Amino acid sequence: MNDNDILDLKAVERLKGLVEKARKIVLTCHVSPDGDAMGSTLGLARVLQLMGKHPIVITPDRPPKSLTFLPGYDEVLPASFKPVAAANLLHSADLILCLDYNASKRVDKMEEQLLSATAAKVMIDHHLDPEGFCDLTISMPHISSTCALLYLVIEAAGWLEYLDEQAASCIYTGMMTDTGNFSYNSNDPRLYMIVADLVRRGVDKDAIYNMACNTFSEPCLRLNGYALSEKMQIMRDHQAALITLSLAELQQFGYVKGDTEGLVNKPLAIPGIAYSCFLREDEPGFVKVSMRSKGSFPVNRVCENYFHGGGHRNAAGGELYMSLDEAVALFMNSLTSNDQYL
């Protein structure tokens, strides 16, 4: 076990002091929030509520509809829809909690308001290389999800008495979604000790899996089927796979946020494929990059080197301000260099 695997107990004590003194607490997460982002913010918000606090969760944009089952989802304030209200709340807060992101740019258009807010800021995150924009940082890059880290923080802070079924369900959702239902980056025995406790607290893990990962609209299924049938390329010489979807194709299938969640993982089921890349054209001139891998192949390094992004060894992403064709060319040009990791 190295230093990155050990929770900073002094930082947890400082967090406890800040929470105890705070009267107005705002919780934030990254743009295009996933299960870990929403699970950690809503889970901690629920714990704080049971402690007698009145926290508010602000997201940079609207959370995906696939997570509407999470307790507290309906109380979330998307800054993209109510920018003035979000800005006022950030500037009136005396404590801002930053969960599941390690850089201020990850809150997108909310960044300026976040950085100019005078409240104490605390980061709780599991991504590599956290930036120094927070007054207190609790970071464990080798843990699989921010939700798993959050459980350890709650435990160390002595807050487990406030971890009810609702909060536990949020935390379990983030742990499950950030590991592909515990199919990658999930060989840490601590994870299953946490899961056991969450189930004891009332979590229905099978129901959460079905709601988060196994419920699809008809257009969503057709979009994913089309992507795998018509838009997946296999480069066997490089042990790589690529899936692309243009804005026109997304619109053809009535795409809504969350419809392509998990799509990038599918090619990894093919024997001999070490890593997969999904390029999605969200807007003209803007392409979202998602990458996944098996074993020791470091997609975070590929995203850092080529796609202005980063992440974890087996799960990473980035953003490109260029056409989809240019993004495809960039990926193809990276293949030979990426062979060094095979």
Segment among 20-29, 82-91, 271-280, 308-317 with least mean pLDDT: 308-317
Tens digits of residue pLDDT in 49-100: 999 999 999 999 999 989 999 999 999 999 999 999 999 999 999 999 999 9
The answer to whether residue 272 scores a pLDDT higher than 60 is yes
Tokens of 330: 């960039």
What pLDDT is stored for residue 1 in this prediction? 43
Structural domain boundaries in the chain: 3-213, 218-341
Do domains 3-213 and 218-341 share one topology? The answer is: no
What pLDDT is stored for residue 275 in this prediction? 98
Quickly state the pLDDT bin for 4 (edges 50, 70, 90): low
Tokens of 163: 């971890």
Task: State the fold for domain 3-213.
Answer: inorganic pyrophosphatase (n-terminal core) (3.90.1640)
What pLDDT is stored for residue 21 in this prediction? 97
Pick among 1.10.150.110, 3.40.640.10, 3.40.1010.10, 3.10.310.30: CATH of 218-341: 3.10.310.30
What pLDDT is stored for residue 279 in this prediction? 98
The answer to whether residue 248 scores a pLDDT higher than 50 is yes
Percent of the chain with pLDDT over 90: 90
How many CA atoms lie less than 13 Å away from 338 in the CB half-sphere?
29
Cα distances (angstroms) measured from residue 191 to each of 35, 187, 206, 240: 16, 8, 17, 30
Tens digits of residue pLDDT in 24-54: 999 999 999 999 999 999 999 999 999 999 9
Q: Report the pLDDT averaged over residues 305-320.
A: 90
- DSSP category for residue 24: S
What pLDDT is stored for residue 330 in this prediction? 98
Those residues with Cβ within 8 angstroms of residue 295's Cβ, 6 or more apart along the chain or in another chain: 274
337 in Cβ contact with 331 (< 8 Å):
no
Sign of the four-CA dihedral 263, 67, 16, 201: negative
Helix axis angle, 146-157 relative to 35-50, nearest 10°? Answer: 20
